[in-house]
Structure 1
Amino acid sequence: MQKRLIAAALLGTALLTACGTNNKNVAESPGIYKHSGNTINKQNDEDLYNPEKVNTQSEKEKEFGFVRQVKSPVPNKNVNFNQDNAMNREKVAKSISNILVTIPNVHDASVLVTDEEVLVAYRTDAKDKKDRFEVADQVKKTAMSVVPRWFHVYVTDDTSLRQDVKNIAYMDSNSQNKEETIKGLVKRMLSRSPQGRKVNDGENPNGEVINKHKNKAEDQDEYRERMDNGNL
């Protein structure tokens, strides 16, 4: 009897060990999640999620997007944001403009995405002050929903400023007088067009910080507050 109990215990231990090793192999398998800091995308590893490959192309468009990123075990090996995660500003501008023209009373929209601002010039048939305010609020919120939260968004329904927005598109992050050119256009946009409601109690309609504890960089970006104080 005692020999049988010992044999059963040894067999159980062997099974548990095998199971643990199996789970470890699955978790660390390069075919699932690499420990090199690589990303696994659902569509890149379809065998894991769709072994029967039954989805057609139209069905794929309805799928959820899934990504798992595993932290690299190599110390100080950071993600290269410039190459891997740099935002394609033209694609972002296109995405924003595509959504904007679906808004009632917005018939076309020119969108410029810079280092930290989104400038939108749009044409609307809204005429009175209240309607213009509501359209501006929708346009502003739409742009904010697409870009990273720290971007500031400025809008105008003055179609004469559309060319000014387009002119800045020929500049880039290294262009001389970039800041002054953008600043001048933002000033005209703020003075000629409504900007909608403030984002929250700590941010004005353009997403600029309005508390007294802002740092120098934030202060330089707050065109609205500087203009109101006569410093723009």
Structure 2
Amino acid sequence: MKAILVMMLTITTILVGCTTFDNSTSEREQILDELDPTRNTPEPTDDELSSKLGYVRYTKDQLDNEMENGEQQLTIDRNEMADMITKIILRNDGFEEVATLVTDKEVLIAYQRNEELSAEEAADVSEKTAASIMPSFFNIHVSDNETLMQDIQSLHRSTSENRNYDNTIHAIIKEMEKTSKENRNIKDAVE
């Protein structure tokens, strides 16, 4: 009887051990879900919704009253801005992959380009795209250093309230400036 009990406990332990979930896969799926820019985008119910013009009209008093009552807070959806910048850049020929991070002060864009697109043209397209979307007080940094895409991705869970990422941001910017300077030196040498 004891042998059967020990054998049943052993089998139960083995079965329980084998049914443990692979958390690394689950975590990867969660990260991929968080990186999906369309995860919070509601599906339009009407095709006309996306073709409608945007219009609002306020008086100064209405805006002041809303601000005093805490009803209206001016915000920028950084994820939406990063999504828009990335998609617009990718619509240009020559770009294979683009990673964009928007903080409260900076826009960091790293991309992979093909040989059809020169380094200068790629940098110009990326900078102008971000500048056309973001308010002018944002500093825009671009690079074709593909390894920086992973560095940018590592910050996707950060918040502007927790400034623990400042050193990482500054290191990425420094590397982007170094890459940009190298590209300019190559261009000057060719000319």
Please tell me the residue identity of whatever aligns with 2:129. T
Q: Amino acid of the residue matched to residue 112 of structure 1?
A: L
Structure 2 unaligned blocks of 5 or more: 1-45, 185-191
Q: How many correspondences in the alignment?
A: 139
Matched, 1:79 2:67: yes
State the Cα distance separating 1:172 from its structure 2 match: 1.5
| Partner residue in 1 for 2:141 | 154
Structural mapping, 1:203-218, within 5 Å: none
On the 8 A contact 2:66/2:72 being kept in 1, the answer is no
Structure 2 counterpart of 1:187, from 170, 174, 181? 174
Residues 1:60 and 1:169: Cα distance change in structure 2 (over 3 Å) = closer
List aligned pairs for 1:114-193, cutoff 5 A.
Answer: 114-126=103-115, 131-193=118-180
- C-alpha contact 1:140 1:153 (8 A) present in aligned 2: yes
Residue 112 of structure 2 contacts residue 144 of structure 2 at CA under 8 Å; is this kept in 1? yes
Query: Would the alpha carbon gap of residues 71 and 151 (structure 1) be closer, same or farther in structure 2, given more than 3 Å must change?
Result: same
1:192, CA displacement in angstroms? 1.5
Residues 184, 83 of structure 1: CA spacing in aligned structure 2 closer, same or farther, 3 A cutoff? farther
Q: Contact 2:111–2:145 (CA<8 Å) still a contact in 1?
A: yes
AA at the equivalent of 2:158: M
Q: Give structure 1 stretches of 5+ with no counterpart.
A: 1-56, 198-232
> Could you tell me which residue of structure 2 aligns to residue 92 of structure 1?
81
Give 1 or 2 for the bigger CA radius of gyration: 1
In structure 1, the residue matched to 2:90 is: 101
CA distance in 2, matches of 1:78, 1:195: 50
CA deviation string 1:19-57 (max 9, x = no partner):
xxxxxxxxxxxxxxxxxxxxxxxxxxxxxxxxxxxxxx4
Higher relative contact order (CA 8 A, sep 6+): 2
* Alpha-carbon shift at residue 104 of structure 1 (Å): 1.1
Question: Residue 140 and residue 110 in structure 1: after superposition, are their counterparts in 2 closer, same or farther (change >3 A)?
Answer: same
**SS in structure 1 at match of 2:121:** helix
Q: 1:98 to 1:196 in 2, by over 3 A?
A: farther
Report the Cα distance in structure 1 between the residues aligned to 2:130 and 2:71, rounded to whole angstroms: 23
Aligned match of 1:228? none
Q: TM-score, normalised by structure 2?
A: 0.63
> Per residue, is there more helix in 1 or in 2?
2
Distance 1:157-1:168 versus aligned 2 partners, 3 A rule: same
State the alpha-carbon separation in 2 of the partners of residues 115 and 105 from structure 1. Answer: 29
Aligned-pair distance for 1:108? 1.5
Q: Quick one: which amino acid aligns to residue 161 of structure 1?
A: L
Question: For residues 164 and 82 of structure 1, what CA distance do their matches in structure 2 show?
Answer: 37
| 8 Å contact kept, 1:136–1:195 | no
The 1:176–1:106 alpha-carbon spacing in structure 2 relative to 1, beyond 3 Å, is same
